[in-house]
Amino acid sequence: MGRSSSFSVCGQLLCRGATMPCPRTYWFTEEKFGQAERTELDAHFENLLARADSTKNWTEKILRQTEVLLQPNPSARVEEFLYEKLDRKVPSRVTNGELLAQYMAEAASELGPATPYGKTLTKVAEAEKRLGAAERDFIHAASINFLTPLRNFLEGDWKTISKERRLLQNRRLDLDACKARLKKAKAAEAKATTVPDFQETRPRNYILSASASALWNDEVDKAEQELRVAQTEFDRQAEVTRLLLEGISSTHVNHLRCLHEFVEAQTTYYAQCYRHMLDLQRQLGSSQGAIFPGTFVGTTEPASPPLSSTSPATAAATMPVGPSASGLAPPGEAALRLEEVTPPASGTRKARVLYDYEAADSSELALLADELITVYSLPGMDPDWLIGERGNKKGKVPVTYLELLS
């Protein structure tokens, strides 16, 4: 009697234990320690998850480093971040170039704007002001066309994906718990339906055994129903999550377009900087000739297209200098009269043309890549240009398109 009663009580406790839902945290811990079975996702789904995580991680890194590129000052970045979180307009901030221009202009005013140093400070200040304005335009374009889409992905699409992935994780834990309960109920049912031994042949023991078997049979049916519901919910959530993860491909396409716009903005910015510095270089070259008569000034400049190993400054400074021609005044004062230009008595140099060049007017010489021409310089001539001769044709040629040969 004692053994049968004990079996019945234990059976009821097992039944109640089988139907009680296990906390997800408990089940998750059991899986981590390898004490519970886990429903595995298919390989394609796992690849989608890995690609989504990789996209999120690299997007964060690219976003942070681009912010550093556009605003190196960490305090200013924190300030801009707070303004964005408070949904307030970020105040306009003077760029470093504009601030430098302001200081140079004030220095020129105090030291004497009519002096050579003051005049040069004024010219450089104007160039730095233009550079600062170009930098401001670049920062604005990059923020709108590149940073904003990256932030929108991290704060919008990625949060939605993360939410659905958490729901999928919960559905999977519920499914695994239902599988374990069903397995436990079936094991108990099988034990209850075994034939009692010769010591348990009394009618009461048969009744207890039959009652336990029927009870476990009901629990198995209930566990199977719960498993079907959990499987349906898991499958539905897996499909929703899969669709969101496959949308990462569209995110890549969008980020690719934004990346092209960022490169375009950066190219425009550097091209503007190059033009501004070329203008400043020409102004300083002509003013240097007025300040230091008889001095030929060679200047270095970034080349576009790229230069050869021989810099324009070195090339121009080492060119043979011929007699002054009446047509070669500083840029913008008079046109070059080619018929009056003669090679210097000290000799000329050969140069190889690096890139095709189309003459802008009759004073210039058109060039073809890889051809050899004769070049020389004249006093007072713009250091960015040389006189080039090919056969009976002559004209000004840009130094940046040449490789001077020794």
Contact between 383 and 312 (Cβ < 8 Å):
yes
- Can you list the alpha helix ranges (DSSP code H) found in 86-157? 96-111, 116-142, 148-152
Cis peptide before 398 (omega within 30 of 0): no
User: pLDDT tens digits, residue range 207-258?
Assistant: 455 566 677 778 888 888 988 999 999 999 999 999 999 999 999 999 999 9
| Residue 377, helix vs strand vs coil | strand
pTM greater than 0.75? no
Could you report the per-residue pLDDT of 270-321, keeping only the tens digit for each?
Answer: 999 999 999 898 888 755 544 444 433 344 444 444 444 444 444 444 444 4
**CA 205/CA 200 separation, integer angstroms:** 6
pLDDT score recorded for residue 262:
95
Q: Which residues contact 351 (CB under 8 A, 6 or more apart)?
A: 372, 373, 374, 375, 386, 388, 402, 403, 404, 405
Starting at the edge strand that comes first in sequence, how are the strands of the sheet with 372-376 ordered?
393-398, 385-390, 372-376, 349-353, 402-404
Task: Please tell me what DSSP assigns to residue 340.
Answer: G
Q: What is the pLDDT of residues 340-396, one digit of tens each?
A: 677 776 778 899 998 888 888 888 999 998 899 999 888 778 888 899 999 888 899
* Each residue's pLDDT tens digit, 44-98: 999 999 999 999 999 999 999 999 998 887 877 777 667 676 677 767 777 888 8
User: Could you please report the per-residue DSSP string of 41-59?
Assistant: PPHHHHHHHHHHHHHHHHH
